[in-house]
Amino acid sequence: MNILYLHGLNSFPKPEKIDYLNQHATQIFAPHINYETDKNVLSDLITEYDDKKLDYIIGSSMGGLIAFWLAKHFQVDTLLFNPPLHRYALSNQHLFAPVKDLKEKDYINNIVLGELDTIVKPTDVVIYLKENVPQKLYRYEIIKGLGHQIDLENFKKSCQKYIFKADA
């Protein structure tokens, strides 16, 4: 299994999360991205990983937002932690171009939201999803007591639940 892991804004790929993913996947791609300076982040990622045969994309916060749009291009399932989807309306979709036309293939965005997150409020994301995204393209859960930061324990639990089901 080939996994692309995208960290959050002003963050970096956490070694302990990469180590965990390496125990379960064939190849992990975890680029360090400066979201504030890379104005072509989506197209850059598409160019970089288009030939990598990705099986899954994981993203946290801003990385989750980018992973949400990459899922459309690569047609693969995602695991998104606290993605700020509501801050980027579909009317601004051109900001994330180019994204291929959707194919008739099923993929799902698995979205994990922290109940106590004050940076990306879970209710805002849920409202956005219900109003703008076909229900067949997502499922979400709100984890009690979780804030914006995803600790290793919750990261592992979510990966086991949504990605590594056979390993659970």
Per residue in 22-73, pLDDT (tens digit) is: 999 999 999 999 988 888 898 899 999 999 999 999 999 999 999 998 998 8
Q: Which residues sit opposite 77 in a β-bridge?
A: 56
Q: How far apart are CA 163 and CA 154, in angstroms?
A: 13
pLDDT 10s digits, 112-162: 999 999 999 999 999 999 988 888 889 999 999 999 999 999 999 999 999
Percent helix, strand, coil in the chain (nearest 5)? 40, 20, 40
Quote the CA–CA distance of 136 and 82 in Å, as a whole number. 19
Q: Which domain holds residue 120?
A: 2-167
User: Which residues are CB-contacts of 17 (< 8 A; sequence separation ≥ 6)?
Assistant: 5, 152, 155
> C-alpha distances in angstroms, 115 versus 6, 101, 140, 143?
22, 34, 12, 6
State the pairing for strand pair 77-81/56-60: parallel
Percent of the chain with pLDDT over 90: 73
- Beta-bridge partners for 114: 143
Confidence of residue 76 (pLDDT cuts 50, 70, 90): very high
pTM of the model: 0.89
Q: How many CA atoms are closer than 13 Å to the CA of 104, on its beta-carbon side?
A: 0
* Overall domain count for the chain: 1
114: domain CATH number is 3.40.50.1820
